[in-house]
Structure formats: C-alpha cells, structure tokens
Amino acid sequence: MALPLIVLTDSYAVTNSALAYAAGLALPLQAELVLLHARYDALLAPVDDPAYVPVGALATEQALQQLAATQPVSTQVEISERELPEALRAAVRYHAPLLLVLGPPGGGSTPLEVMVDTAKTLLSTVPYPLLLVPALGQQAGPPRRLLLAVDGHPFVLHQYQDIIRRLLSVSDGGTLNVVRVSDSSHPRLGTESILETIAANDLADEIAFGQVSEVADLSAADGVLAEAARQQADLLVVIARRHSLLGSLFHHSITGQFIERSPIPVLVLPAKD
C-alpha cells in the first residue's frame, strides 16, 4: 500500500471540496485517505460566517465516518483537540503521508484568504508537500499535464518528496513541462541551465521532462498562469522557499495570486532553507 494522503477538513467537516480530487488520486496510487479534523482550529474556523453553527463532537465524528464510508478507497478519520498545525504535525509523524490536501473553506461566505493564510501557516510550521485544490470541479484521477514553475536558482527538496514521479507513474501518458519567468532583473538562462537546477533533486526520470519554457512577464504569477493556460496544464507545481521569486509562499501577494487565481490545483513543494 502506498503512502496515504491526508485531507484537511474545515469546520463544516463534510463539505471539503478537495476530498473528491484526493480520492481520485488515491485510487490509482492504491493509497489510503486520512480525514484530519481539528475541532477547535482557528485557521479554518469560519468565525465571520453568520450561517455557521458549531457542530458537536459526536455529530462531527458521525458525519466524517459517514463520509469516509463513501470513499472509493480505505479512509480513516482523525479528530484532534489541538490546533491545526499541532494536529497536522502529529499526523505527519504517525502516517508519513505522500502529501497533504487542502481545499477552500466550506462556508459560502468564508473568504478565500482563510485558505491562503492556512497554507502559509502550515508551510511555515509543518513544511510538507501541500496540494491546494480550487473550489471549481476538477477531473477525477491523476493529472496528465504537469507544469513545474522554477526561478532558475538551485534548490534542495526534502527527501520525502517523491511525488511527481509517483503521479507520472499512474497517469496515462503524463508529461512534465517546466516554466521560468524572466524580466529585466532576471534575464533568460536557457534550457540546459534550468534543467541543471532541477536535476539535483531527482524529481522525475530524465525522459519525463518535456518542454522548457522561458516566458517574459513583469509578474511571475501572470507569466506562470498564462503558460499553464497555454499548455492546458492540469497541475501546477511550485517550489516554496523563503527567498525565491516564484516559490515563496511567505510573500502574501504571490501566494494569494496562485491560490486565488489558479483554475487548476497547485502542488507546493517546500524546499530546505
């Protein structure tokens, strides 16, 4: 059995829009799902939503167990009395998952900034691969057209991030393309130099790499999202580090643009500092 996927549920417990996408990944990966719910978490609690009524512990567990029973793969339920970062840190230690999955909050009036802030907090306190799934419906099954956004500088990923290779192994003719945005302060590097910064991390077999694109744009986010649309990519992969033009999820404007504007899921791979 492959490493499990941990799906983070919000305070509505049963309306997490990322669950169907996670199940579609878990099925071909032959992986389990873990539904992690932090009952008193301040990150995903819709405190500004007047329609939200707190759900009791028993009702929450029953709803999650019902939801788990309907999934196409084996699904565990974990309910924690801790805040989300602490609950997630414990779950990661216990399950050693392939990745974490986070969708937008369930409340219709809950701002998407809650998801942005949650992602930033988790990546800074629990630096683990994080898949962000937008609210719009996504295709079931593993992605087939992956686009990796890089800044052209060397990076080192954590040793447990063998995700891209696993996704490509279960996709039907999956491809991995690369994009880098250049501007007046960041000149073009060329395909060979860009691939050299990626090769050290053994992200995928050499033959998996397809097109390498360098696009000129004043905005890194605009350039990446435009290239993703042009290639009809169905998964955007971003390297997250503190001082990267593209990867720093600690820069709110870049974070917000990728999460709020991307019509396709975004997989964030935290790099070592």
Query: How far lies 69's CA from each of 65, 73, 173, in Å?
Result: 6, 9, 31
If one compares 136 and 231, the residue with the highest pLDDT of the two is 231
Q: Is residue 34 part of a domain?
A: yes
Instruction: Evaluate if pTM is beyond 0.85.
Output: yes
Tokens standing for residue 80: 């924690």
Residue 227 — left, alpha, or beta (φ > 0 → left; ψ -120 to 50 → alpha)? alpha
Residues 118 and 10 in one domain: yes
Closest CA to 5 of 96, 82, 105: 96
Confidence check: pLDDT of 246 > 50? no
Confidence check: pLDDT of 14 > 70? no
Rounded mean pLDDT of 176-188?
Answer: 82
Residues 113 and 177 in one domain: no
Kindly report, residue by residue over 119-166, the tens digit of the pLDDT: 888 888 888 999 998 876 667 778 999 999 988 888 888 766 678 888
Tokens standing for residue 23: 């199940």
Q: Is residue 137 part of a domain?
A: no
Give 208's contacts (C-beta < 8 A, 6+ positions apart). 164, 165, 168, 174, 175, 176
Query: How far lies 199's CA from each of 156, 204, 209, 238, 241, in Å?
Result: 10, 8, 10, 16, 18
Q: What DSSP string describes 152-163?
A: SS---B-TT--H
For the chain, the domain total comes to 2
Which of 132, 164, 187 is the C-terminal boundary of a domain?
A: 132
Report the distance separating Cα 253 and Cα 260, nearest Å: 10
Residues 88 and 203 in one domain: no
Range of the domain at 199: 145-270
Grade residue 180 by pLDDT with cuts at 50, 70 and 90: confident
Q: Is the dihedral of CA 199, 159, 72, 148 positive or negative?
A: negative
Closest CA to 148 of 77, 89, 197, 102: 197
Considering only 71-85, 170-184, 219-233, 237-251, which range has the smallest mean pLDDT?
Answer: 237-251
Residues 6 and 128 in one domain: yes
Q: pLDDT value at position 245? A: 38
Contact 133, 118 (CB under 8 A): no
Q: Is residue 171 part of a domain?
A: yes
Residues 196 and 116 in one domain: no
What percentage of residues in the chain have a pLDDT greater than 90?
Answer: 30
Confidence check: pLDDT of 201 > 90? no
Report the distance separating Cα 132 and Cα 105, nearest Å: 12
Kindly report, residue by residue over 76-98, the tens digit of the pLDDT: 999 988 888 999 999 999 999 99
Q: Is residue 138 part of a domain?
A: no
Q: Is residue 86 part of a domain?
A: yes
Residues 180 and 87 in one domain: no
Contact 233, 258 (CB under 8 A): no
Strand 130-132 relative to strand 266-270, pairing: antiparallel
Report the distance separating Cα 265 and Cα 273, nearest Å: 25
Residues 128 and 170 in one domain: no
Residues 16 and 70 in one domain: yes
Q: Tell me, what CATH number does 209's domain have?
A: 3.40.50.620
Q: Is residue 231 part of a domain?
A: yes
Grade residue 254 by pLDDT with cuts at 50, 70 and 90: low
Q: Is 250 helix (H, G, I), strand (E, B) or coil?
A: coil
Confidence check: pLDDT of 13 > 60? no
Q: Is 170 helix (H, G, I), strand (E, B) or coil?
A: helix
Residues 91 and 155 in one domain: no
Confidence check: pLDDT of 41 > 80? no
Which of 132, 155, 174 is the C-terminal boundary of a domain?
A: 132
Residues 203 and 240 in one domain: yes
Residues 188 and 128 in one domain: no
Angle at which helices 252-261 and 220-231 cross, to 10°: 20
Amino acid at residue number 27:
L
Residues 117 and 149 in one domain: no
Q: Is residue 38 part of a domain?
A: yes
Report the distance separating Cα 218 and Cα 57, nearest Å: 49
CB-count burial class (<10 Å; 0-12, 13-18, 19+) for 112: middle
Q: Is residue 248 part of a domain?
A: yes
Considering only 7-21, 48-62, 208-222, which range has the smallest mean pLDDT?
Answer: 48-62
Which of 80, 102, 132 is the C-terminal boundary of a domain?
A: 132
Amino acid at residue number 223:
G
Confidence check: pLDDT of 218 > 70? yes
Rounded mean pLDDT of 41-67?
Answer: 69
